[in-house]
Amino acid sequence: MLLSQQRITARVSDLFPRPLDRRTIHKYIPQPYKYWVGSAREGIRQVLSQLRVEKNVKKVGVPAYTCQVVLEAVYRAGCQPMFYDSGVVAETSEIQKIITKVDVLIVTHNFGFLPDIASISTLCKKHKVILIEDCAQALGATYQHQLVGSFGDYAVYSFGISKNVGFCGGIISSKHPLRLSGLKKYPLGTLWKTVASVLVSPFFFHKYFYPFFYPRLSRHLGRQPPFPPGPYSCPPLAKRVVLHQLKRYDKIQSIRRRNGEYCLRGLRGVVPFVEPKNGAPAWLYFVLLSIKASALQKRLLHHGVDIGLMRTFRCLDKNKPKAAAAEKNVLAFALYRSPQEIAIMVKAIRQIAHE
């Protein structure tokens, strides 16, 4: 069984004290001000909460297709969402329809793919709209040789267990100083569960053991992701684990990029997929687009290949046709894996497509 989910990038050795090079973070997160928080969603809430108080922002442009916790963060900040239609990749033409009606615009780089972020940034400046880039899945991606996260006024990054660099916590980066408020200590129980995940992941994700764990994982993924009950800070252990991983992030990125390019060559003309048209994506996932996504997923399971329906990504406004189609049609699999596994997955997809 080859699974769709992101393998944990953290190693057991990352959990133990070693010398840290905090300069590494500037290589991937370019904004001058950086603030550690308990999660990217808390980062969005913190930014919007401060903007609501200081600049009286109320209306926030939100992509109609993205991870549902983005919308929860908007609500918890006391703001009103205004949706623009969006598939996996945001379109400038759809943003133009709401740009005069919002105070803040959130652009999410879903699955590590990029919109024309330069034109979106220009549009926001023209209309004096504050731009927040959600880089939770796009750490290290570039547009016109410029790192994502540097086009907006603010950017948020996630280091959740399934992200580009996986453990827990997140970062807000900003062109402007922030005053974070009300942060509580990260729950010790949740932190130790994350540590346990790192310790057991080599066994959990082993190809011979994974079939036994698959039913439990499926039930877990089907649950609604809980929003943290309070605003949390980032624990020191998480900072250390993330910084250690960033020292080898170039290698992690190169593995994903190599596998992504292999999939492009092997599946072009075979099945529809999200083609990277803007810059260099982070290649967290390879994303298929199938009008019979559930049926395709079941057929691939018979070949020992699990390609996932992204349950945490939702159409947030049923009146937006592109978002509604994306919720039904998107299948994705993580690219942080061996080339042998990628070759098996591509072969299985090709075989089913030709049946």
pTM for the model stands at: 0.92
Residue 296 near residue 275, CB atoms below 8 Å: no
Determine the average pLDDT of the residues in 75-100.
Answer: 97
> In the prediction, which pLDDT does 224 show?
47
Q: Which is more confidently placed, 355 or 12?
A: 12
Query: For the packed helices 69-76 and 40-55, what is the interaxial angle rounded to 10 degrees?
Result: 30
For residue 106, give the 3-state DSSP assignment.
Answer: strand
Q: Give residue 3's pLDDT band: very low, low, confident or very high (50, 70, 90).
A: low
Contact status, residue 84 vs residue 62, Cβ threshold 8 Å: yes
Three-state DSSP at 331 gives strand
Mean pLDDT of 316-329: 95
pLDDT above 90 for 247? yes
- Helix ranges, 56-132 (H): 69-76, 92-96, 117-126
Helices 249-267/339-353 angle, 10° precision: 20
Q: According to the model, what pLDDT value does residue 52 have?
A: 96
- What are the tens digits of pLDDT across the range 195-237? 988 887 766 666 666 666 666 655 554 454 454 556 999 999 9
pLDDT digits over 32-69, tens only? 999 999 999 999 999 999 999 999 999 999 999 999 99
Q: Which H/E stretch holds residue 349? A: helix 339-353
Which pLDDT score is estimated for 187? 92
At residue 39, φ and ψ (nearest 5 deg) are -165, 165
Residue (of 332, 316, 334) closest to 324 by Cα position: 316
User: According to the CATH classification, is domain 249-353 in 3.40.50.2300?
Assistant: no
Tens digit of pLDDT for each residue in 122-162?
999 999 999 999 999 999 999 999 999 999 999 999 999 88
Residue 328, judged by CB atoms within 10 A of its CB (0-12, 13-18, 19+), counts as: middle
Domains of the chain by residue range: 249-353
- Give me the mean pLDDT over the 276-282 stretch: 94
Residue 214 is predicted with a pLDDT of 60
pLDDT at 211: 63
Query: Three-state SS string across 278-323, please?
Result: CCECCCCEEEEECCCHHHHHHHHHHCCECCEECCCEEECCCCCHHH
Give the C-alpha separation, 44 to 104, whole Å: 11
The pLDDT of residue 82 is 98
